[in-house]
A and B are shown apart, each in its own frame.
Chain A
Amino acid sequence: MTMFHFLNCAILTFGPHVVYYSATPLSEYDTIGTSVKAVVVYLLTTLVKLICLATFLKVSDTDSFDLYQELMKALIGFIDVAGIYFALTQLTHRNISQTHKFQAVGLGWAFADSVLYRLAPLWIGARGLEFTWDYIFQGLEANANLVLNLSLAALVSLMWLRKNKPKTLIPIIYACVVALATMPSIISYLRKALGWQPPKVVGFELISSLMMAFISWQLFYACQKPST
């Protein structure tokens, strides 16, 4: 019975990644290798991030919102951007188009994130007898995270890999990357400082992720036009 609930939550958390891979042309071009490399880069990036967090942040006993600490965290969050950039450029990919490359990297990135941060709590918590909405929300959060990571990967690939993009769009791209990279801090601000309840936070994440996806999509197409 509780296993059933665990499976439901697992489907909600990890299903979208699989569906995304199999539904889009990613599966046709067999980009799993790229995704796996992205996962490895993600793990290394997370290690670096953790070391930075451990070095520069104090352990706070209270669950309150500390501006300096959060700013520090946001700054460290930019290591993600560097990691994605590394994954997109430095790794030797097989000959796949830019469009598929960023998707594969974003997908691998989001999947690794989900496994690392959500699998263990899910395994421990969702199998308990006690029912809570937490793990369903966590599943929805994973969906939002996937979309956010894909947008981030798309924008990073726009920022550094595409040379002939319209000059007017560059500040917008940078602004969006900043917004995406600081998203974890924004969410922690909402949760801790404003005291939002989980349903509200998850709703915000879903809506913001869809908005960011739409913006990045528009930007991507706007940049693609002159080259073609």
Chain B
Amino acid sequence: MRNNEPYLLVRTLDLSSPMALFSVDRTAMAGQRSSRCGGEVLESVYAVLALVLVLVACVELGDAATAVDVYRLIQYDVAGAPFGSRLAGLNHHAGSSFSASGADLSRTVVILPVRELNLTLLDECIKSKHPLGGLLLLLPQRSGSRVLGEKLGSDGVNGDGLMRNILAELEKLLVHANIPYPVYFAFEDDKINTILADIRRSDATGQPASATTGGYKFVVSSWEPKKVSSPTITNIQGWLPGLKGESDVNQLPTIAIVASYDTFGAAPALSVGSDSNGSGVVALLEIARLFSRLYANPKTRGRYNLLFGLTSGGPYNYNGTLKWLRSFDQRLRESIDYAICLNSIGSWNNELWVHVSKPPENAYIKQVYEGLSEIAQNVGVKLGIKHKKINISDPRVAWEHEQFSRVRVTAITLSEFPVAPALLESSGGLSDSRNSVDERAIQRSVTIVAESLARHIYGLQGNIQIFAENSSLSVNPSYIISWLDLLSRTPRVAPFLQKPDPLISALKKELSDHTVDVHIQHESIDGMFSFYDSTTATLHIYQVASVTFDLLLLLVAGSYLALLFCFLVITTRGVDDLINMFRRPPSRKIKAA
């Protein structure tokens, strides 16, 4: 018991609230004088004061002059090999070029406007692993969605196209490099342009920002990026069942229309992919809408099942399509007559391509291709065909239809690209914005696909237009535009979509408005790829004073106080006192000696 007492006391003291302290004092030291007690109360007040001070000291305020939304370059591993920007946190002074003399580049954030970017220089800098504090790339101002039917001047189109090429090149460079410092994208605006002009001016005068000279400091407070745990890809499918006649014993044949909806780009938060593959998704939704109207009436319901699939994982060798196909049972897979994959059909002029894996002489391929090209001719579009053999041992799947071909389903891809893009390219990155897409191109693609499907389903011949303009079954341009606008605002990099993502629910809801048996399939992404989070951040820009200035200020303040002291002593006590003040200590020592 005796041993327990102090322990109890300590336990109670641990509560550290002034009341607890007080009560312990009262019980433990009841016999003592009340004056002692008053002292203890005062001590506990001090404790509270100290606590308050500690709390105040912990308060950190974001009081930056400027806060800018920035988007980090993607960070990912492919089979363990690191790519992209490997860091997120930033706390360095700002510079405006790689060549600033005297600047310590490893502690400088270099700001480069993409408009004036020297790609070869940047390429060299990244390839030579030049140490850099960070890189901030300024993208040209976000232009709002274009007004319908408005035509840009030839100059605007050229400038736009040039910009797009630069962005595509830049993206290719950054995505395939391993960059050991943080790389961020931001949009140009007045604030940041003023700051950039300021930085350039001080760089030009040979005074790059550093601790000794002051200047602008860029701070992104961010944790170490974490690996996205179990990234998922989500496939959505919907059915339009055909009319089964009484004589039909067998299952009805199925036609699949497929588009992959997710994107990949240098900045995941900016990868909206209007063309790749927003255009394909929009076209698929419109085709589903058109056929749902035909299939609603038993008289016009065809003898084919229509299967609509919105697949994910497109940039990663159509991983989602592979998993989707694997989930089918054998009978269903065999019942698929053919599949049409829609990929990037939003910015072509007069030429579309049909990509196939089987030789074009193949009877099924021929039938599909001829069906399409017949309509294309009517619309005035040249439809080419490209044959690319599949190499089973090659893990690269360049087109979505190749996944179908691998499971022996006849399939084609309709695309504006004449050649297959490389891995992680043309998958809806920075350059792929709403401005690059022409909704009329999508409209024409929809007409071609829908018309050829209808002819195949109803076995029509000759020049009959089912989806003719101004009819009740015409392609609806405002539907296309509204969906295209929505997709052009929504970044869709699969690993960064949450599981109940609003976009996925929106797509599901839209598909279930037109089709039945809508089903969502969650799959984990191919283990070869892993991704890191913190794709967006806020950049705080501070204008900081230099150490030199602070030292100078200290010197000035100190000498001011010293002068004030001397002045006050002289005026109130006389010069002799002042002199004595400095003399006294040595004289005492002498006395002591």
**Residues of A in contact with B (beta carbons under 8 Å apart):** 1, 4-5, 7-8, 11-12, 15-16, 19-20, 22-25, 123-125, 128-131, 136, 139
Q: Is the CB of A129 within 8 A of B542?
A: yes
Q: Which one of B59, B64, B554 has the greatest number of beta carbons of chain A within 10 Å?
A: B554
17 extra interchain contacts, Cβ-Cβ under 8 A, other than A23-B566, A23-B572, A124-B61?
A1-B544, A4-B550, A4-B554, A5-B553, A11-B554, A11-B561, A15-B557, A19-B561, A19-B565, A24-B568, A24-B572, A24-B573, A128-B61, A128-B63, A129-B219, A131-B542, A131-B543
Any A CB within 8 A of the CB of B419: no
Report B295-337 CB contacts with A as 1/0, cut-off 8 Å: 0000000000000000000000000000000000000000000
CA distance A205 to B513 in the complex (A): 73
CA distance A207 to B564 in the complex (A): 16
- Which residues of chain B are near A1, meaning CB under 8 Å? 211, 544, 547, 550
- Name the one of A23, A123, A124, A125 contacting B568, with C-beta atoms under 8 angstroms: A23
Known: A1-B550, A16-B564. A130 touches B543 (CB 8 A): yes
CA distance A62 to B566 in the complex (A): 45
Q: Which one of B545, B558, B566 has the greatest number of beta carbons of chain A within 10 Å?
A: B545
Q: Which one of A16, A130, A139 has the greatest number of beta carbons of chain B within 10 Å?
A: A130
- Which residues of chain A are near B557, meaning CB under 8 Å? 8, 11-12, 15, 139
Q: Which one of A16, A125, A128 has the greatest number of beta carbons of chain B within 10 Å?
A: A128
Report B165-195 CB contacts with A as 1/0, cut-off 8 Å: 0000000000000000000000000000000
CA distance A4 to B56 in the complex (A): 18
Any A CB within 8 A of the CB of B569: yes
- Which residues of chain A are near B550, meaning CB under 8 Å? 1, 4-5, 8
- Name the one of B56, B540, B565 contacting A22, with C-beta atoms under 8 angstroms: B565
- Which residues of chain B are near A128, meaning CB under 8 Å? 61, 63-64, 542
Known: A11-B561, A129-B544. A19 touches B568 (CB 8 A): yes
Q: Is the CB of B545 within 8 A of A136?
A: no
Q: Is the CB of B63 within 8 A of A123?
A: no
CA distance A76 to B245 in the complex (A): 96
CA distance A131 to B541 in the complex (A): 11
Main secondary structure of the interface of A (DSSP, over half): helix
Q: Is the CB of A15 within 8 A of B561?
A: yes
CA distance A5 to B557 in the complex (A): 12
* Nearest CB in chain B: distance from A220 CB, A: 13
CA distance A11 to B543 in the complex (A): 23
CA distance A29 to B561 in the complex (A): 22
CA distance A24 to B574 in the complex (A): 10
Q: Is the CB of B63 within 8 A of A125?
A: yes
- Name the one of A11, A23, A25, A130 contacting B64, with C-beta atoms under 8 angstroms: A130
Any A CB within 8 A of the CB of B214: yes
CA distance A104 to B565 in the complex (A): 17
Would you mind naming 18 contact pairs between A and B with Cβ atoms under 8 Å apart? A4-B550, A5-B550, A8-B557, A16-B564, A19-B561, A19-B565, A22-B565, A23-B565, A23-B566, A23-B569, A24-B572, A25-B572, A128-B63, A129-B217, A129-B219, A129-B540, A130-B64, A130-B542
- Which residues of chain A are near B8, meaning CB under 8 Å? none
Any A CB within 8 A of the CB of B392: no
CA distance A16 to B211 in the complex (A): 30
- Which residues of chain B are near A129, meaning CB under 8 Å? 64, 217, 219, 540, 542, 544
Report B44-73 CB contacts with A as 1/0, cut-off 8 Å: 000000000000100101011100000000
CA distance A128 to B540 in the complex (A): 12
* Nearest CB in chain A: distance from B169 CB, A: 36
CA distance A125 to B59 in the complex (A): 11
Q: Is the CB of A130 within 8 A of B554?
A: no
- Which residues of chain B are near A125, meaning CB under 8 Å? 63
Q: Is the CB of B568 within 8 A of A20?
A: yes
- Which residues of chain B are near A130, meaning CB under 8 Å? 63-65, 542-544
Q: Which one of B65, B214, B558, B565 has the greatest number of beta carbons of chain A within 10 Å?
A: B565
CA distance A136 to B566 in the complex (A): 23
CA distance A22 to B568 in the complex (A): 9
Residue of A nearest to B578 (CB): A23
- Which residues of chain B are near A123, meaning CB under 8 Å? 56
Report B532-550 CB contacts with A as 1/0, cut-off 8 Å: 0000000010111101001
Q: Is the CB of B554 within 8 A of A19?
A: no
Q: Which one of B214, B219, B550 has the greatest number of beta carbons of chain A within 10 Å?
A: B550
Q: Return the 8 tightest CB-CB contacts between A and B, nearest first.
A: A23-B568, A129-B542, A131-B545, A130-B542, A128-B63, A23-B565, A24-B572, A8-B553
CA distance A139 to B211 in the complex (A): 24
CA distance A176 to B307 in the complex (A): 93
- Which residues of chain A are near B569, meaning CB under 8 Å? 23-24
Q: Is the CB of B572 within 8 A of A19?
A: no
CA distance A11 to B562 in the complex (A): 12
* Nearest CB in chain A: distance from B314 CB, A: 43
- Name the one of A5, A23, A124, A136 contacting B564, with C-beta atoms under 8 angstroms: A23
- Which residues of chain A are near B64, meaning CB under 8 Å? 128-130
* Nearest CB in chain A: distance from B400 CB, A: 50
CA distance A80 to B133 in the complex (A): 55
CA distance A210 to B573 in the complex (A): 21
Known: A8-B553, A11-B557. A19 touches B564 (CB 8 A): yes
- Which residues of chain B are near A5, meaning CB under 8 Å? 545, 550, 553
CA distance A15 to B554 in the complex (A): 12
* Nearest CB in chain B: distance from A222 CB, A: 18
CA distance A16 to B557 in the complex (A): 10
* Nearest CB in chain A: distance from B555 CB, A: 10
CA distance A11 to B219 in the complex (A): 28
CA distance A22 to B578 in the complex (A): 12
- Which residues of chain B are near A22, meaning CB under 8 Å? 565
- Which residues of chain B are near A11, meaning CB under 8 Å? 554, 557-558, 561
Q: Is the CB of B553 within 8 A of A25?
A: no
CA distance A136 to B557 in the complex (A): 10
* Nearest CB in chain B: distance from A200 CB, A: 20
- Which residues of chain A are near B59, meaning CB under 8 Å? 124
CA distance A139 to B556 in the complex (A): 13
Residue of A nearest to B547 (CB): A1
Residue of A nearest to B562 (CB): A19
